[in-house]
Structure 1
Amino acid sequence: MSRTAPVGTPLGDAFHVFDTTLRDGAQREGISYSVADKLAVARHLDALGVGFIEGGWPGAMPKDTEFFARARELDLRHAALVAFGATRRPGLAADHDPQVRALLDSAAPVVTLVAKSDRRHIERALRTDVAENCAMVTDTVAFLRGEGRRVFVDAEHFFDGYAFDPDTALRVLEAAVNAGADVAVLCDTNGGMLPLGIAEVVTEVAARTGFRLGIHCQDDTGCAVANSVAAVQAGATHVQCTANGYGERAGNADLFAVVGNLVTKLGMPVLPDGRFSELTRTSHALAAIANIAPERHQAYVGTSAFAHKAGLHASAIKVDPELYNHMDPVDVGNGQRVLVTEMAGRASVELKGSELGLDLAGHPDAVSSVVATVKEREAKGWSYEASDASLELLMRSALGSSQQAPFTLESYRVITERRQDGQVVAEATVKILVDGERLIATAEGNGPVNALDAALRAALTPSCPWLADVELSDYKVRILTRGTAAVTRVLLESTDHAGSWSTVGVHGNVVEASWLALVDALAYAALRRTPVAASR
């Protein structure tokens, strides 16, 4: 199935989407969730409609213990909360093991137990034998089931253990399921498997045991998503993932890519009605909580997932968007974008103009002008794919629009002073014409661009009071050529109460490159306040 399948009634308990962002995902380098963060993540995952949310390891992690104590704040509507922990220790009764008791104290209705399934780990890491390891699994599962908990068992290192000693790996699964575990989860803990190998083992284990199987994949080979989908195709009905693939080392199977594939390629309605379109929003919200920039090229939910740069692609998309999209991006809450670069042809420019609210299709001369200008400028270092505001101004100019910055420059001057106390201050003076009136303003800043911006505002604010709403929110400089006479590209991001926009400037002088980007930023800010812009 190559197109999006209809999303009907979710599979419910027939299929489990199990999220472990709050445990396995939190092991990613650079992530440190507070308890408040963990509660917020759980709310987003529940709103998306996952079936199970693994909240952490109570008793082992104080933060996780607190999370479960506060879990009553969540009011989950779709998901069941899961506590993670280990089987009893060797030689200790399950009901006397403090870690097992902590799982009960968490009050989570579901418990996931990790159990060794590789004989080498049993003997070397646990320092016990296979019989005692299986007894540990049996006793802990039976005890938790007797206390009214639903139990899943993660068979750690299963694929490596199955390759080394399949009988031991299967004995562990039998111990879990015979004691009452609902699902035996096959874990590719070291992340070394490939899809065909996963499918072969899952098929074989399912045939030999008849157990309900789950899959948990790490991404060390870059195959965690493919491995997870292959396992489902081979018979697994429980898939463990993390938001955006967060996790230790190379990460885990990405929840959004796995769900995207299950729904659109396998036709499996694994989320409640109406929730599939929340994939992109949820991905970005969880990235914000983790304080990690969203991955632009992430499958399904990345801002570049449906972005097209090549002119050949744009020509086909103009005829039918499905010719170069594997699905309708709207289905996952994303959107198609056309990037105008030196690779662009007429179709790219027309489609991008339509995206920006401009009808270029009936203006062939304007299209030719834009294509030629973009190619010429990009050869000199300009880049319009990340600066839609500058591109829109260029398109409007080609269409004959008189929209310009709300001033005409006579001159500017910037000086930088290093004072005796070590403080460095930039001072800028601008001389501009506004409606025929010559204005001069001077201001200081912590750098040349900041000083120029402040001086411009001082001169313009009396006639453009809306400038008070406009802020420069980001400033990026890239040196395009080597040496002290290098060409510099500046990208500015500006914001106001209604949104943000990006502009570009290129010059051998970084101040002039910044000035060009700044002028475009103010011109676009003025455009946003005109009736023409308001009607777009």
Structure 2
Amino acid sequence: MKVEDRTIEQIFIYDTTLRDGAQAEGIHFSVGDKIRIARKLDEFGISYIEGGWPSSNPKDSQFFWEAQKIPWRTAKVVAFGSTCRPEVEEPAKDAQLAALLEAATPAVAIFGKSSLSHVREVLRTTPERNLQMIASSIAYLKSHQREVIYDAEHFFDGYKEEPAYALETLRVAAEAGADWIVLCDTNGGSLPTEVGRVTREVAKVIRVPLGIHTHNDGELAVANALAAVEAGATQIQGTINGYGERTGNCNLISVIANLQLKMGKKVIDPERLATLRELSLFVDEVANQRPNPRAPFVGSCAFAHKGGTHVNALRKLLRSYEHINPEAVGNRRRILVGELSGRANIAWKAKELGLEMEDRSPKTKRILEEIKRLEARGYEFEAAEASLELLMRRVLGNYQPFFRLLEYHVSIRSLPVRAYEVCEATVKIEVQGKRRYTVAEGDGPVHALDNALRAALQEAYPQIERIRLTDYKVRIVDPSRGTEASIRVLVESSDGTARWTTVAASTNIVEASWLALVDSIEFYLLRSGGSREMDPEKARD
């Protein structure tokens, strides 16, 4: 496969999430997980999907067996391995090369050594034998009609040690018939200037299409990959969300967005780019990883604006503080409100909530002052937009609470001898003109209060039975004050369809929890009209 057969604008994405990504600490994929991710990558438009190393474990072998049954739309599934071992006389007798062929994939990837120190100290063989291993292994795989991708492991480090030998390993790979030669920054310690310079030098003497494989040990994996593309590489290897050994691999999410939106390269169909965030979240979910909110392009913070000056400028010119349109990668713009906000933030957020408000309105000023007052006490509204909406409506004066608290009480009975402890809460409220008094027990004071409040409201608002507390976070705002420190409580709730978060702060953890619970129920009743199910499109998380 020659360079002239390819359009220079086309960049081929090689995904190794299922192999290199699975080597990350805390990442574990079942065979089913790997099939689900591979299908998603194929749907997205990835060119190559590396499924694993078939000779290394039964799970990878099973994956390739299952992969043979799937009609892949865009991707070529790749089996990964290495050159034959030094002590094996010929590739046909090497068990792991045989396993690559048994995987029955259209393409195979093998790595070989480019660094003389690795050849001598790791492989414990001669430079000449290493060259024979590279050439014979590639020729053997090519003789079985496989597309062969040769990964030149530790290439940049090897080039720094002995450029002539590192280039010789590439020459023998090319002469043996490799379809791709991939330059690997295996230790992740190279700089973009180095990667770009060396890749250009390689491109002058190697006529096989080049790829780049970078690791993120210097937090430069994406930059190094893009530098290689500028120098002539047309394949990028990496993982979704940058999973990988040590600090990770090149993050394909960022690479794809940069290539297509910033560098004008053809990577995938433009309409598929709008599902980039969806792909990122999907892989995080399957891998049981919490999404990185600050991930470039796709993180929830990527287009979140907090500073008042920034928001004011955005209202006039979106590109003033956004490098791309968020929707291009499936993300959305978020306007945050907090102590650093200006009136523009309040007006923008009010519009999102369907509230009419002008920047210069006295009510806008009062809302901003109230937010700053509460945040000085420990509140934080960025992650609790349900409480923010209630605050804004209360200041605007167009909000009537669904019930009025008269009194609540919490007690704890502990009998250490019997290993027995129970919390009891009493709640007195006025709802729909009637006074309600309820008593309930719970596993803790917050649970008991929640049960008592629900019991008091059940007759008037039976739909609150749907509400479930899905997360409860407590943070000490100023630990240096000891037991007098303010405590912030965040409560996340859901009715099974929508979810929303509320916040409160107090020096009393029970009071903070109570206020956050009340906001949660009030918000649900507000959004459901007091009688209907909540519209999930209107829920704020």
Determine the C-alpha separation between the residues in 1 that align with 2:71 and 2:360.
56
Query: Partner residue of 1:298?
Result: 295
Tell me, yes or no, if the aligned pair for 1:491 and 1:517 is still in contact at 8 Å: yes
Give the Å deviation of 1:427: 1.3
1:493 aligns with 2:492: yes
- Letter in structure 2 aligned against 1:331: A
* SS state at 2:63 partner: helix
- Whether contact under 8 Å (1:363, 1:399) holds in the other structure is no
Given that 2:11 and 2:266 are in contact with CA atoms closer than 8 Å, whether structure 1 keeps it comes out as no
The alignment's TM-score, normalised by the length of structure 2, stands at 0.94
Question: Aligned residue for 1:48?
Answer: 44
CA contact (8 A) 1:25 1:252 kept: yes
1:62 has 2:58 as partner: yes
- Check if 1:126 corresponds to 2:123: yes
Q: 2:385 aligns with which of 376, 380, 388?
A: 388
Write out per-residue CA displacement over residues 157-209 of structure 1, whole angstroms, 9 at most, x where no aligned residue: 00000000111111111111111111110000000011111111111111132
1:73 to 1:444, Cα distance in 2 relative to 1, 3 A: farther
Aligned equivalents of 2:220, 2:289: Cα separation in 1: 22
The aligned residue for residue 68 of structure 2 is 72
Matches of 1:306 and 1:444 in 2, distance apart?
44
Mapped to 2, the partners of 1:11 and 1:247 lie a distance apart of 30
Q: Distance in 2 between matches of 1:315 and 1:119?
A: 58
Asked if 1 retains the 8 angstrom alpha-carbon contact of 2:10 and 2:267, the reply is: no
Which one of the candidate residues 353, 356, 361 is aligned to 1:359? 356
Whether the aligned pair in 2 keeps the contact of 1:155 and 1:185 (CA below 8 Å) is yes
Shift of 1:362: 7.4
* Other-structure match for 2:3: none
Instruction: Quickly say closer, same or farther: Cα 1:233–1:333, change in 2 above 3 A.
Output: same
Q: Distance in 1 between matches of 2:238 and 2:52?
A: 14
Q: Does the CA contact (< 8 Å) of 1:414 and 1:427 recur in 2?
A: yes
Q: Is the 8 A contact 1:15 1:238 kept in 2?
A: yes
Ranked by relative contact order (alpha carbons within 8 Å, sequence separation 6 or more), the top structure is 1
Stretches of structure 2 that go unaligned for 5 or more consecutive residues are 1-5
CA contact (8 A) 2:30 2:59 kept: yes
User: 2:183 aligned with 1:186, yes or no?
Assistant: yes
SS at match of 2:406: strand
Paired residues of 1:403 and 1:527 also in contact (CA < 8 A): no
Q: Amino acid of the residue matched to residue 468 of structure 1?
A: E
Q: Report the CA distance between 1:308 and its aligned residue.
A: 0.8
Residue 11 of structure 1 contacts residue 269 of structure 1 at CA under 8 Å; is this kept in 2?
no
1:467 to 461, 464, 467: 464
Q: Percent identity?
A: 46
Q: Secondary structure at the match of 1:410?
A: strand
Helix, strand or coil at the partner of 1:303: coil
Question: Contact conserved, 1:58 with 1:84, CA < 8 A, in 2?
Answer: yes
Matched, 1:337 2:334: yes
- Pick aligned residue for 2:267 from 228, 252, 270: 270
- Could you list the per-position Cα deviations for residues 295-338 of structure 1 after superposition, in whole angstroms to 9, with x for gaps in the alignment? 00000000000101111110101112111000000000000101
Q: Distance in 2 between matches of 1:75 and 1:447?
A: 54
Query: Cα offset for 1:46?
Result: 1.1
1:197 to 175, 194, 199: 194
Residue among 199, 203, 208 paired with 1:211: 208
Of 97, 101, 106, the residue aligned with 1:109 is: 106
What is the CA distance between 1:370 and its match in structure 2?
A: 0.9
Aligned to 1:476: 473
Q: Does 1:31 align with 2:27?
A: yes
Q: 1:441 to 1:74 in 2, by over 3 A?
A: farther
Structure 2 counterpart of 1:528: 527
Residues 1:431 and 2:421 are matched in the alignment: no
Q: 2:248 aligns with which of 247, 251, 257?
A: 251
Partner of 2:314: 317
Q: Distance in 1 between matches of 2:183 and 2:150?
A: 9
Q: Distance in 1 between matches of 2:366 and 2:223?
A: 45
Deviation of residue 15 (structure 1)?
Answer: 2.5
Task: Tell me which of 321, 328, 331 is aligned to 2:325.
Answer: 328
Q: Matched residues in 2 for 1:211 and 1:59: separation?
A: 28
- Residue 272 of structure 1 deviates from its aligned partner by 2.4
**Distance across 1 between alignment mates of 2:232 and 2:145:** 28
8 Å Cα contact 2:308/2:342 also seen in 1? yes
Structure 1 residues 415-454: aligned runs within 5 Å: 415-419=411-415, 420-454=417-451
- CA pair 39-11 structure 1, distance change in 2 beyond 3 A: farther
CA distance in 2, matches of 1:528, 1:509: 29
- Where 1:269 maps in the other structure, the secondary structure is coil
Partner Cα distance (1:54, 1:306) in 2: 32
- Contact kept, 8 Å, 1:81 with 1:110, in 2: the verdict is yes
Q: What letter corresponds to residue 319 of structure 2 in structure 1?
A: E
Quick one: distance in 2 between partners of 1:14 and 1:173? 23
Q: Residue 11 of structure 1 contacts residue 270 of structure 1 at CA under 8 Å; is this kept in 2?
A: no
Deviation at 1:63, TM superposition (A): 1.0
Where does 1:123-162 land on structure 2 (aligned, <5 Å)?
123-162=120-159
Which residue of 1 is the match for residue 239 of structure 2? 242
RMSD, aligned α-carbons: 1.8
Alignment of 1:155-174 (within 5 A): 155-174=152-171
**Whole-angstrom CA distance in 2 between matches of 1:102 and 1:362:** 68
1:137 positional shift: 1.1
Give the aligned residue type for 2:35: L
Structure 2 vs 1, CA of residues 311 and 363 (structure 1 numbering), >3 Å: closer, same or farther?
closer
Matching residue's letter, 2:411: I
Confirm or deny: 8 A CA contact 1:39 1:74 kept in the other structure. Answer: no
Deviation at 1:417, TM superposition (A): 2.2
